[in-house]
Amino acid sequence: MKNIEINTSRVQIPNNNLLIDAYLAQPADEGNFGAVIVFQEIFGVNNNIRDITELIAKQGYVAIAPAMYQRVAPGFEFGFSAEDAGFSQEAYRLGLEYYQQVKYQEIFSDIKATIAYLKTLANVKADSIGCIGFCFGGHIAYMAATLPDIKATASFYGGGITQPSYGEDIPTVNRTSEIQGTIYTFFGTKDSLISQEDNQKIEAELKKHNINHRVFRYDAGHGFFGGFFVDKYPFLAQNPVINREAAIDAWNHVLELFENYL
């Protein structure tokens, strides 16, 4: 795993009359790099999402995390809390409240605006854009995968993919045939939020439409990728859903995905 020097900044992505706050991390050296969009969980672009954005940039990519609650709760974020050994009940309450307000077509619009923004950056290879997302963001990543600009997608325990979501009547999984790039999906077999039936349905659709894909399942619960950061946030080790070994293995597959297709 690389650990190159990076620069980080807060930027705004224009989308018609909306400015989307985003966290940008990119290699400090000059060059042309593939780009990765990082899609948040329900807790906003918090310290965990910024850590992941920086981690990706240190591998030699331009990484950007747009605020997907910009329309309903600009500036919202809840970070890791050592006191709660995770997130507070208030964080869950607010995160779910805002999650229930987002709209499918608005999300799609913001994804496209982020892609357009990346293409304006001189150090980005315009034909090498991918994405990664977790939970809410895992669903958004699956949505983004249906766009032709997205060459590689890592979708972690995406919730609601098999059900109508965000005001739409058609489940996102029904759009699987539109995926043109490669997608890796990651699930925990102990996930209390996403059933094994749901992730098997996703896999069946990927196979049915001959999408270039891989499905990874781990003996872990929802949000298991947090285990990658146990050294930085030791209290995470107290969370029973965390599986550090699963997180490390999944990360290696993410690196494989981006190295091969971006």
For the annotated catalytic residues, the residue numbers are: 135, 191, 222
> For residue 97, which of 133, 125, 72, 77 has the smallest C-alpha distance?
72
Phi, psi of 227 (to 5 degrees): -60, -20
Phi, psi of 76 (to 5 degrees): -70, 130
DSSP the chain: -----EEEEEEEEEETTEEEEEEEEEESS-S-EEEEEEE--TTBS-HHHHHHHHHHHTTT-EEEEE-TTTTTSTT-B---BTTTTB--HHHHHHHHHHHTT--HHHHHHHHHHHHHHHHHSTTEEEEEEEEEEETHHHHHHHHHTTSTTEEEEEEES-TTTTS--TT-SS-GGGGGGG--SEEEEEEETT-SSS-HHHHHHHHHHHHHTT-EEEEEEES--TTGGGGGGTTTSGGGGG-TT--HHHHHHHHHHHHHHHHHH-
**What is the C-alpha to C-alpha distance for residues 201 and 194, in angstroms, rounded to an integer?**
11
Phi, psi of 155 (to 5 degrees): -110, 110
